Structure 1
Amino acid sequence: MRTLTTLTRLLGVVSLFGGDRRIQLVFTHDERRPGILSAGVPEALRRLGPPVIGWEQATATRFDLAITASENDALTELDAPILLVPHGIGYQKYYPGSRVTSGLDPEKLVRHGEVVPAAIALSHESQRAQLIRSCPPAAERAVVIGDPCLDRMAMSRHRTSRYRRALDAGGRTVVTLASTWGKHSLFGRRPELPVELLGCLPFDGYRVVLTLHPGVWAAYGPWQVQTWLRPAIAAGLALVPPDHGWQAAVLAADCVLSDEGSAALYAAAVDKPVLLTTPGSPTTVTDSPLAALARSVPKLVTELGLRDQIDGAIARHRPGSHAPILEEAVEDSGAALLAGLLYALLGLNPPDDPVFPPVADPEPLTSPAAAFVAGVDASGELVRFPLVAEKSPDLEYRHVLAHADNAERRELDAATVVYADEPERLAGLLDHWPAARLAAAPIDGGCVVRDSTGETHELTADADPVLLSAFAYVRLTTGRPFAGDLNGAAVSALRRH
C-alpha cells in the first residue's frame, strides 16, 4: 500500500478473507519510493499487527494475488496477478494540476505495451467509458464490483445507535464535518469551522464531529493536527482518527458538512442531509457523480446563521433524494460479487455466503468542555455554548461557567459560576474565585449551589448539573425562587442550612 488512504481501502477488501485459512495475507509498501502522503503507513501497520515484508522481499517472492488501491506503485516488479481497486467511490478526481483521472493514469496502467493489472475494479458500469477514454487497452480488464466501503456502511446502518454512543451523542443532533485533503478542502479553506460551530450550536442539543482525510494526517502529522485543533477539542469537538471510524461518524450523523471529497458521496449514499462547505474544486472530474452532487446540494453560506442552515438541511431532506446521482456512481453489489472476483483470481472456490464485517466503532479524540457561556435565548430557552468563540449568540442573563480544575485561568477569572466535582469544596471555591457569584457541584439527581452570602441550595431535576447551575444563576439574578421549569424539566429546590 502507498498511503493511509489505500491501506484503509485494502483492509475493507481483504476483510472478505476473514475465517478462510486457505488464505495467508502479507502487507508491503515500497519504502524506497514513498508517496507524498505515505507518512504514517509504517506506524499504522505496527498498530494493526499484520505480517509485513519489505519491498525487496515482496518483489522476490511469487504470490497468488496482489491487491492495490493505487496504480502509482511499482506494480510491474511484483510477481503476481494484480487487482487494482479505486480508493474512493469510483474515479471522481483528477491528479492535482492535471487532467489525468486519479486511479486511471495510462502511463501506469500500461508498461512496455502490456496492461499491468489483471483486473481493474469499477464501482459502476459508466466508469468503463472513463477507462476507455483514459487508457483504451486497459478497458478489457475492467470488472464492476460496486464499492466495498459503501457495502460495509450499508450493512452497518442498523448499528447507528451504537456509533452514536461511541461518540457520546446521547439525544443530541450529530453534525459531522468530513474533509478531504489539499488546499481546496474543508480543512484547507475553512479550518475555523469546527470552532465556529461549537460557538453557535447549543452544547446540549448538538454534537460536533470532525473526520479528516488520511492525507491531512500524513501531510502534517498527528501532533500538528491535534495542536491546530486543540481549542476545538478542549471545547468538546470529537476528532475521529483516520483509521478509527470515519465511516461510523458519517453513519451516526444527522447532517454531514463536507467538501468535494468522497465522504460527501458516501454520506449521500447512506441518505444523509449534506451541506457543501467550500466552492467547487478544480480536481473534481467535471462530469462525475461527485460534481453532480456538488451542484445539487445546498451550500453553507458564511453570512447566514450556521445553526439555521443545518436545521434547515435536516428538515428539508427527503429520503432517497440523492438516489438519481448515486445510481450513476455505484451499482448494487454486495460481498458476493467482490468475493467472486477475488477467488477467481486466486483459482479457489469462494465461501458459500461471504459477508463484510461491520464498520468499526469510532474512537474519537475528545475532551469534556470545561467552560461555557450560558443564558436565555430569544425563544426563552436556557442554553449553553462552549466558551471558544469571540462572539456567541445574543443571550439574556449571559454568564460564564468554568470548571475549577479543568478550565484555563482566564476562563475562571471571567466566570460567574465556578463548579467542581466535589460538593465539599463549595465554600473554598468562592474564597478562591471571589468574582464568582455561585459555586456549584453535582449531587445525585441534580446539583448543589452556594452563593456569595453562604446560602446553599440543592436543586434536583432531570438535567445536566452544569446547566442546572446556570438555571440557578438566572433565578438568582431575577430574584425568582429556585424551584421552577428548566426547558420543560421540573426543578425542585431545597435550601440547606
Structure 2
Amino acid sequence: MRSPAALHRLMDVLPVFEGDPRVELVFTVDGGSWFSDRLGSRLRERGAVLLPWGEAVEHPFDLALAASDNGDLHRLAAPLVLFPHGVGYQRFAAHEAGAVSGLRRSTLVRDGRAVPSRIVVGHPGQLDVIRAVEPLLLPRAVVAGDPCFDRIRLSGRLRDRYRAALGATGKRLVVLCSTWGPHSLYGRQPGLPARVVGAVAADLNRVALVLHPNVWAKHGPLQVRAWLRPAIESGLVVVPPEEGWRAALVAADVVVSDHGSLTSYAAGAGVAVVLAEDGGPEVVPGSPIDRLRGRLARLRPDLPVTGQLDSAAPLEAGIADALFAFRGRSMERVRAMVYGELGVRPPRGPARVRPAPVPEVDVPTPTAYSVRSSLGPVEDGRATVELTRFPALTYDEDQPHARHLAADDTEVDPGWAERAAVVWSTARHASTARAGEWAAAAFAGLPALRVAVAALRHGGLLVAVRGGGAVVAAGPADASLVGSAVQCCLARGVALDRLRRLTIVVGSGSTTVRFHAR
C-alpha cells in the first residue's frame, strides 16, 4: 500500500479472514509516495507484521490485496486482487494525463499481460470504465458491491451515539467533506469551513469537517490545524483522518461536499448533499460521480449559506441502486472471491460487517459570539428574551442594538475584548464578594463592557452591570446566556433592577432564571 486511503479500504475488507487460523496477514508499504510517510508506524501501532517492500516482492505469497494501482504491483509473487480506494474508478490520475486513477494501464498491464487476477467494482456501471481503459482487464472484473457502504448502512443504528460524540445532540449537523487536490472543496475554497461556521446559529447547528487523508499526509496535522485554527476556535469539529468520517456521514443532516467518494456514500445513505465543488476536469465522464453531480444542488457563493442548507434535500430513495450493487451482501461476495483465489473453502458462518466506531473528537466551544436578540413585553418584572448566537469570526460593529459581542474572559484576541458588551468568567468564584472583585476589574480594563457575569461556587450567577449594581441569578442557564439576555434588556431601556424573572429562549429550548439581591 502507498496511502492512508488504501489502508482504510483494506481494513474494510480484511475482516473476511477473521477467525480463520489458516490465513496469516502480513503488510508491506511501498514508500514511493509522499502520502506513505506514516503508514508503517500506523500499522505497527495496530500490531501488524510489516515486511519491507524489498523483501515482500522476493517472498512468494498465496494472495496479495491492494487498494491502489500505484507502485510496482507486477513484482508481487502472488495472485493480486485490486480494490478501488473509494467508491470506484471515477477520477483521472493526477500525474498521468488521460489515465484513470486506480486503473492505469501503465501499471496494470505488463508485457501484454494483466497484472491483477481480480479487479473489484461496486456496481456493474463501472465495468464500462474498465472496458474503456483496457479490454484485457475486463474479464478480471468482479462486481462485489462496496463493503465500506455496507458498514455505513449498518452504522445507522448508532446514529444518536455518533451525534452525541460530535456535539450535535439536539442540533442540525452540517458535515463538510473534501477530497484532495486542486479541484477539491478545500483546495479551491479553504475559507469555506469558517464561512459555514460563522453563518449558522451556534445553538442550532454543529459543523464538522472531514478532509481526505492525503491532505493530512501531505501537509501534516500541525499545518492543517493551523490553517483551520480560526474555525476550530469558533466551534468547528475536525474529524481525524484515521477514523470518524463514516460516523460523521451517518450522523449528518446535511453534507457539503465535492467530487470525492464521500459524496456518493452520503447520497446513497439518504443524506441531503450540496456540492460546493464538482471536480471539473478531474471527473471521468459517465462515471457514477459524474452522473450524480449533475443532479445535486450547488452551493452558490453569492447566496446566504443558511438558506441553501435549509433547502437541501436527499435524492430519491433509489439513488443507491445506481451506485452500489449487492447492498448488505458485499462482504459475502468479497469473501467468496478471495477464498476462491486462495483455492480453499471460506469459513462457515456469515462474513461479519462491523459498524463504524464512535469517534473520539474534540468538540470546541466558541469563546466569542455575535449575538442577535429580541425582547418581548416586560410585565411585573417578567421578561422573555430570544437569543440567536453566531461564532464571532470578524469584528461586528454594525447594528449595535440588534447584535452585541459576548466573550469569555479567556478570549485572547484584543479585538474581541475591546468590543465585548458581555463578558463571562470561566472560573467559579468562592463568594459574591470575590465575583464582584472580578467584575470590577473587568469593567476597569474593558471600556465597552456593559454586563459581567460570574458563576458562584455555591450555585447561581453574579450579574453585574456597569454603573447599575449587581444581582444574583438563580436557575439552570449558563453565564454566557444570562449575560446576553441582560444586555438585550439594557439595550432596550430595561434596567437590571426592573427584572425579577427572565426566560431565555435559545436554540430549540428555553430556560428561566430569577434575580434577587446579592
**Deviation of residue 275 (structure 1)?**
0.4
**Deviation of residue 203 (structure 1)?**
0.6
**Deviation of residue 353 (structure 1)?**
1.0
| SS of residue paired to 1:231 | helix
Equivalent residue for 1:45, pick from 43, 60, 66: 43
Q: Distance in 2 between matches of 1:482 and 1:39?
A: 62
Segments of structure 1 that go 5 or more residues without pairing to the other structure are none
Q: 1:232 to 1:418 in 2, by over 3 A?
A: same
Matched, 1:347 2:343: yes
Q: Distance in 1 between matches of 2:460 and 2:403?
A: 22
Q: 1:280 to 1:72 in 2, by over 3 A?
A: closer
Tell me the equivalent position of 1:77.
75
Matched, 1:23 2:44: no
TM norm structure 1: 0.92
Q: Which letter maps to 1:477?
A: A
Matched, 1:13 2:51: no
**Deviation of residue 23 (structure 1)?**
2.5
Q: Is the 8 A contact 1:280 1:294 kept in 2?
A: no
Equivalent residue for 2:463, pick from 436, 439, 449: 449
Tell me the equivalent position of 1:432.
441
Matched, 1:494 2:515: yes
Q: Distance in 2 between matches of 1:393 and 1:195?
A: 20
Q: 1:253 to 1:336 in 2, by over 3 A?
A: same
**Deviation of residue 445 (structure 1)?**
8.2
Tell me the equivalent position of 2:482.
468
Q: Which letter maps to 2:137?
A: A
Equivalent residue for 2:429, pick from 413, 417, 423: 423
Q: 1:128 to 1:388 in 2, by over 3 A?
A: same
Q: Which letter maps to 1:369?
A: P
**53-62 or 422-431: which moved more?**
422-431
Q: 1:378 to 1:195 in 2, by over 3 A?
A: farther
Q: Is the 8 A contact 2:476 2:513 kept in 1?
A: no
**340-349 or 85-94: which moved more?**
340-349
Q: Distance in 2 between matches of 1:461 and 1:489?
A: 12
Q: Distance in 2 between matches of 1:454 and 1:390?
A: 27
Tell me the equivalent position of 1:483.
501
Q: Is the 8 A contact 1:199 1:392 kept in 2?
A: no
Q: Distance in 1 between matches of 2:21 and 2:461?
A: 57
**Deviation of residue 406 (structure 1)?**
4.6
Equivalent residue for 1:328, pick from 313, 322, 344: 322
**Deviation of residue 365 (structure 1)?**
4.2
- Within 5 Å, which residues of 2 pair with 1:310-329? 310-313=309-312, 317-318=313-314, 321=316, 323-324=318-319, 326-329=320-323
Structure with the greater alpha carbon radius of gyration: 2
Q: Distance in 2 between matches of 1:184 and 1:7?
A: 23
| SS of residue paired to 2:280 | coil
- Within 5 Å, which residues of 2 pair with 1:162-241? 162-241=161-240
Q: Is the 8 A contact 1:459 1:483 kept in 2?
A: no
- Within 5 Å, which residues of 2 pair with 1:150-165? 150-165=149-164
Q: Which letter maps to 1:485?
A: T
| SS of residue paired to 2:353 | coil
Q: Is the 8 A contact 1:423 1:440 kept in 2?
A: no
Q: 1:475 to 1:22 in 2, by over 3 A?
A: farther
| SS of residue paired to 2:294 | helix
Tell me the equivalent position of 2:406.
401
Q: Which letter maps to 1:466?
A: S
Q: Is the 8 A contact 2:65 2:82 kept in 1?
A: yes
Q: Distance in 1 between matches of 2:435 and 2:460?
A: 15
TM norm structure 2: 0.88
Segments of structure 2 that go 5 or more residues without pairing to the other structure are 377-384
Tell me the equivalent position of 1:362.
359
| SS of residue paired to 2:27 | coil
Equivalent residue for 2:89, pick from 83, 91, 116: 91
Q: Is the 8 A contact 1:104 1:134 kept in 2?
A: yes
**105-114 or 41-50: which moved more?**
41-50
Q: Distance in 1 between matches of 2:357 and 2:127?
A: 32
Q: Which letter maps to 1:429?
A: W
**107-116 or 187-196: which moved more?**
107-116
Q: Distance in 2 between matches of 1:124 and 1:287?
A: 13
| SS of residue paired to 1:133 | helix
Q: Which letter maps to 1:470?
A: S
Q: Tell me how large the CA RMSD over aligned residues is.
A: 2.4
**Deviation of residue 366 (structure 1)?**
4.4
Q: Which letter maps to 2:221?
A: P
Q: Distance in 1 between matches of 2:185 and 2:465?
A: 45
Partner deviation per Cα, 1:464-485 (whole Å, 9 max, x = no partner): 4422321122123331625233
Q: 1:468 to 1:17 in 2, by over 3 A?
A: farther
Tell me the equivalent position of 1:249.
248
Q: Which letter maps to 2:105?
A: P
Partner deviation per Cα, 1:437-457 (whole Å, 9 max, x = no partner): 222234688644222347333
Q: Is the 8 A contact 1:198 1:237 kept in 2?
A: yes
**Deviation of residue 322 (structure 1)?**
5.8
Q: Is the 8 A contact 2:459 2:474 kept in 1?
A: yes
**65-74 or 249-258: which moved more?**
65-74
Q: 1:450 to 1:119 in 2, by over 3 A?
A: same
Q: Distance in 2 between matches of 1:258 and 1:446?
A: 44
Number of residue pairs matched by the alignment: 490
Q: Distance in 2 between matches of 1:36 and 1:117?
A: 24
| SS of residue paired to 1:101 | coil
**251-260 or 375-384: which moved more?**
375-384
**Deviation of residue 334 (structure 1)?**
3.1
Q: Is the 8 A contact 1:426 1:450 kept in 2?
A: no
Q: Which letter maps to 1:10?
A: L
Partner deviation per Cα, 1:255-307 (whole Å, 9 max, x = no partner): 00001111111110111000011254211111112011111111111111101
Q: Is the 8 A contact 1:241 1:365 kept in 2?
A: no
Q: Is the 8 A contact 1:265 1:290 kept in 2?
A: yes
Tell me the equivalent position of 2:387.
382
**Deviation of residue 228 (structure 1)?**
0.4
**Deviation of residue 416 (structure 1)?**
1.7
**462-471 or 198-207: which moved more?**
462-471
Partner deviation per Cα, 1:287-333 (whole Å, 9 max, x = no partner): 112011111111111111101110111xxx25x51634x32322023
Q: Distance in 1 between matches of 2:454 and 2:47?
A: 45
Tell me the equivalent position of 1:131.
130
Q: Is the 8 A contact 1:16 1:355 kept in 2?
A: yes
**Deviation of residue 460 (structure 1)?**
4.5
Q: 1:137 to 1:394 in 2, by over 3 A?
A: farther
Q: Is the 8 A contact 1:234 1:366 kept in 2?
A: no
Q: Distance in 1 between matches of 2:77 and 2:128?
A: 29
